[in-house]
Amino acid sequence: PDPRTVVFTLKAPNALFLAQLASVQCNGWVASPKNVGADGKWLADSAIGSGPFTLKEWVKGQYLALERFADYKPVKEAPSGFAGSREAYVDEVRFMVIPDTAAAETALFAGELDVLPDLESSRAEEAKSRGMTVLSTQGLSWTVILLQTKDPLLSNVKIREALAHAADINQIAAASTSGAATGGPSAVAQASSFFDDDFLKWPEYDPVKAKALLDEAGYNGEPIKIQTNTRYQGMYENAVLLQAMLTAAGFNAQLEVLDWAAQLDNYRVGKFQIQSFGYSARLDPSLMYGVILGDKATDPTAQWDSKEALDLYTKSMATTEAGQRKALFKQLHALMAKDVPILGLYYEPSVDAVSPKVKGYSVWPAANPHVWGVWKSE
């Protein structure tokens, strides 16, 4: 290869190598020597990237401004996610910090913002009525209900099976996304190239069967607490819906509303019975399985402690052949439907609201906004 081509030599096949390089979480990157001073310490605000914009100004807590990099040379390939041509058509882009969702919407409707990423699906019609363009696509962020399988009650698989039969995930998905999503019980998203209808197989919604399983398990009305928060309205609403469904099926389900920081701390140490939760987008199913699988004795954030599942997961990373990987994912999903270590609800659609003056903007399943290939009309 030419001197500008980087070659990686791997000891063994790794299906995730490229996906991990392109990951939108904990992504790998190369630092320039210009990022550090003579003492070897990182220079504050010295970010040097490889894209069509450079850092102009960062007023922490208020905004981050980028300016067009005049010497950027776009590739010829068509844009695709973060890849392909990334040509800048505007001179400056400013990312505004607006913690309050309602305030951000007000700013968009008033023309103070041009793009509002991650619009809640329930707000899409309002945005349209205010003259905004709403763009959406199937997402990769998985909304779930965590089940603590080490809990004295939930360690009983019959209790977990009963819970799965008691929860109408399609109803929850429709209610929480205003009909934009359907139930997504698998770690393989509908937006994934590996997806087919086999990944929708899950214990069917059947409250009568749920009650029968509770009787078989010897359940005596012990309280089961569902932890949630109000920072993320979707998590709270999902918890409320789940509580109603579990109660109807014979569970003594109770809500435990915490602030988000406390709930997250509990997640990290496994201190819960049930949690309303969500995982951010992963670009490959193995990456999503990798988040939920593990040894709970050493990793309390692991939700599924299964040697058989871990073996299948390891195999899914060792082969690069798509057909073999899909077959392994199907085995993993079938095993998960049997063990019920987690309750997958749906994949949050990627929804952005955009001013009608903005042209060329698009959304993609990973839900990260991009500003190349975009311009404004007057």
Cα dist from 299 to 188, 290, 295, 315, whole Å:
23, 12, 6, 21
Query: Exposed (0-12), middle (13-18) or buried (19+): which is 77, by Cβ within 10 Å?
Result: exposed
How far is C-alpha 135 from the geometric centre of its chain's CA atoms?
Answer: 18
Buried b / exposed e along 123-155 (16+ C-beta atoms within 10 A) = bbeebeeeebbbbbbbbbbbbbbbbbbebeebe
pLDDT digit string (tens) for 174-193?
Answer: 999 999 999 999 999 999 99
Tell which residue, 93, 118, 54, has the closest CA to residue 353: 118
What number is the average pLDDT over the span 16-32?
78
User: Can you read off the two tokens belonging to residue 83?
Assistant: 């890849």
Q: Examine the pLDDT at 45 and tell me if it is beyond 80.
A: no
Question: How many of the other CB atoms lie within 10 Å of CB of 107?
Answer: 16
Share of the chain above pLDDT 70, in %: 99
Q: What is the structure's pLDDT at 22?
A: 79
CATH pick for 138-349 out of 1.10.10.10, 3.10.105.10, 3.20.20.370, 1.10.3720.10: 3.10.105.10
CATH pick for 17-133+354-376 out of 3.40.50.300, 3.40.190.10, 2.40.50.100, 3.40.50.2000: 3.40.190.10
| Least confident interval from 24-38, 110-124, 193-207, 259-273 | 24-38
Buried b / exposed e along 342-376 (16+ C-beta atoms within 10 A) = bbbbbbbbbbbbbbeebeebebbbbbebbbbbbee
Q: Using pLDDT thresholds of 50, 70 and 90, give the confidence band for residue 27.
A: low
Contacts 24+ apart (CB under 8 A), 331-337: 332/187, 332/289, 333/185, 333/186, 333/187, 333/188, 333/198, 333/199, 333/201, 334/201, 335/306, 335/308, 335/309, 336/186, 336/187, 336/304, 336/309, 337/185, 337/201, 337/202, 337/203
pTM of the prediction? Answer: 0.88
pLDDT digit string (tens) for 253-280?
Answer: 999 999 999 999 999 999 999 999 999 9
Q: Check if the beta carbon of residue 135 is closer than 8 Å to that of residue 360.
A: no
In the chain, where the domains are located: 17-133+354-376, 138-349
Cα dist from 349 to 116, 183, 285, 343, whole Å:
14, 12, 17, 18
Beta bridge partners of 347: 142
User: How do 133-147 and 115-116 pair as beta strands?
Assistant: unpaired
Query: Taking all residues of the chain, what is their mean pLDDT, rounded to a whole number?
Result: 94
Q: Examine the pLDDT at 120 and tell me if it is beyond 90.
A: no
What number is the average pLDDT over the span 328-333?
99
